[in-house]
Amino acid sequence: MKGHELDLFCVPRHYENDLDKVIIPHGLIMDRTERLARDIIRDMGGHHIVALCVLKGGYKFFADLLDYIKALNQNSDKSVPLTVDFIRVKSYCNDKSTNNVRVIGGDELSSLSGKVSPDIVETGRTMQTLLSLLSECNPKMVKVVSLLVKRTPRSSGYRPDYIGFEVPDAFLVGYALDYNEYFRDLSHICILNDQAKEKYKV
Amino acid sequence: MASYLQIADDEKGHELDLFCVPRHYENDLDKVIIPHGLIMDRTERLARDIIRDMGGHHIVALCVLKGGYKFFADLLDYIKALNQNSDKSVPLTVDFIRVKSYCNDKSTNNVRVIGGDELSSLSGKNVLIVEDIVETGRTMQTLLSLLSECNPKMVKVVSLLVKRTPRSSGYRPDYIGFEVPDAFLVGYALDYNEYFRDLSHICILNDQAKEKYKV
């Protein structure tokens, strides 16, 4: 995987020795997100959408995606209600084969007819558990949009309805992805090098 | 004392047709009182003031959901842009809480904080609470006294809007975007029954629209 050299982009100086490559530039993320918004409106628009943000990683992608969705709504003929809500999903592994997921926050789940928006799907198990929880609330339609999906042998095979990018199983930071609360001020998605994994360790 | 951009009670505001306003809202709004670009410019300055006072040390930015998320995202973008140009990398934690108020009788105002990481993790950090609008101020005062028990290094509150209202407790945030009249405002961070999220300017809702979009 080649990616781009850091010095072709604006990367904060204090990260210059921490990153290998830029693999998804910020502008490309925004362009892809703009198209995802259009595809989503095509399938779900015209009816009340509940946009469910999976915190904490999801908020940046959520905010940008919603800006594009709102821009499309601005130019439609009617006003469509757009509810936003926020949930946290905590996973508990009691043993390696179980993956219990707890949903925290959000309004009454019974009020849902929605779209779920995480930043990255890796194994897919969290999303599968969340979806089965939501189906008990009888939404009209549930769709999942994920900015990134990782190619990993640990994947359960689950694929979101809308995918921004499919990425390698590498250590990624930037845009929505922080590393121990660092790299939030990095707008491109990059690969973290090994020295930096130690340097920013908690 | 925090400085703020004052929108006067007799503020005329701007005619809708001088701006891009979604066509389906044209009969629902009286005036544009704070255009989106002005919100962004003021937010940019708030970010600078905040970094001046709190930068250089681990900041925990606490977003008060749900109304606060739009202003939170824009403010944080400006803060991150400033961090990009500093000499060192400063950790910036984001976290999200919901505040629900319960009024058992008219003189009590109990506030419950839901979500967020362990509040004990705030100890020793610079905490920035981000809110969309402060009206009576009581919610914020209760939240602040809850947070003080966690021994943060510093706690500051930034609110995009502060309403001039007789119901105010007198509480003023540390950073204020705009001080606004006690009118029915929609747009940008402020929805009305989940409508008006697709309106980027802050406007005054007219009376017919209050009925029209009622739940």
A109-119 per-position pLDDT tens digit: 555 545 666 66
Query: DSSP code of A152?
Result: -
Instruction: Flag if A59 and B94 touch (Cβ within 8 Å).
Output: yes
Task: Kindly provide the ipTM of the predicted complex, given to two decimals.
Answer: 0.78
- Domain tally, chain A: 1
DSSP for B2-36 reads: ---EE--TT---B-GGGS---GGGTTTEEEEEE-H
Instruction: Flag if A10 and B86 touch (Cβ within 8 Å).
Output: no
Distances (CA, A) of B48 to B51, B53, B78, B157, B160: 5, 9, 8, 14, 14
Q: Which is nearest to B130 in space by CA: B46, B186, B68? A: B68
Chain B residues touching residue A12 (CB < 8 angstroms): 83-86, 89
| Structure confidence by residue, pLDDT tens digits, B154-200 | 999 999 999 999 988 899 999 999 999 999 899 998 989 888 988 99
A68-94: burial string, b at 16+ Cβ within 10 Å, e else: bbbebbbeeeebbbbbbbbbbbeeeee
Instruction: Flag if A85 and B66 touch (Cβ within 8 Å).
Output: yes
Instruction: Flag if B69 and A86 touch (Cβ within 8 Å).
Output: yes
Is residue B79 within 8 A of residue B61, CB to CB? The reply is yes
Distance in Å from the first CA to the final CA of chain A: 29
Candidates A13, A184, A192, partner chain B, best to mutate (most B CBs within 10 A):
A184
Position B77 pLDDT exceeds 70: yes
Q: What is the 3-state secondary structure (H, E, C) of A108-147?
A: CHHHCCEEEECCEECCCHHHHHHHHHHHCCCCCCCEEEEE
CA distance A188 to A15: 12
CA distance B178 to A108: 33
- Whether B91 and chain A come into contact, CB under 8 Å, resolves to yes
CB atoms within 10 A of CB B46: 23
Which range has the top average pLDDT, A152-156, A164-168, B81-85?
A164-168
CA distance B200 to B215: 22
Residues present in chain B in total: 215
Of B22, B69, B81, the CB nearest to A79: B22
Supply the pLDDT for residue B65.
85
CB atoms within 10 A of CB B171: 15
Distance in Å from the first CA to the final CA of chain B: 39
Q: Report the chain B residue with the minimal C-alpha distance to residue A18.
A: B89
Supply the pLDDT for residue A121.
66
Query: Range of B80's domain?
Result: 5-213
Q: Is residue A191 in a domain?
A: no
Instruction: Flag if B89 and A55 touch (Cβ within 8 Å).
Output: no
Q: Is residue A12 in a domain?
A: no
Q: Is residue A102 in a domain?
A: yes
Q: What value, to the nearest 5°, has the Cα angle with vertex A134 and ends A132 and A138?
A: 110
CATH of the domain at B43: 3.40.50.2020
- Whether A84 and chain B come into contact, CB under 8 Å, resolves to yes
Q: Which is nearest to A37 in space by CA: A142, A141, A140, A147? A: A147
CA distance B206 to B108: 32
Query: Which of B87 and A102 is assigned the larger pLDDT?
Result: B87
Can you tell me the mean pLDDT for B32-49? 93
Helices A59-74 and B69-84 sit at what angle, rounded to 10 degrees?
Answer: 120
Position A98 pLDDT exceeds 60: no
Supply the pLDDT for residue A96.
39
| Structure confidence by residue, pLDDT tens digits, A163-175 | 999 999 888 999 9
- Whether B56 and chain A come into contact, CB under 8 Å, resolves to no
Query: DSSP code of B90?
Result: -
Candidates B19, B43, B89, B92, partner chain A, best to mutate (most A CBs within 10 A):
B89
Instruction: Flag if B91 and A13 touch (Cβ within 8 Å).
Output: no
Q: Which residues contact B180 (CB under 8 A, 6 or more apart)?
A: B7, B33, B34, B161, B162, B163, B164, B202
Instruction: Flag if A77 and B24 touch (Cβ within 8 Å).
Output: yes
Instruction: Flag if A79 and B20 touch (Cβ within 8 Å).
Output: no
| Percent of residues, chain A, with pLDDT higher than 70 | 83
Is the pTM higher than 0.90? The answer reads no
Chain A residues touching residue B91 (CB < 8 angstroms): 180-182
Chain B residues touching residue A85 (CB < 8 angstroms): 66
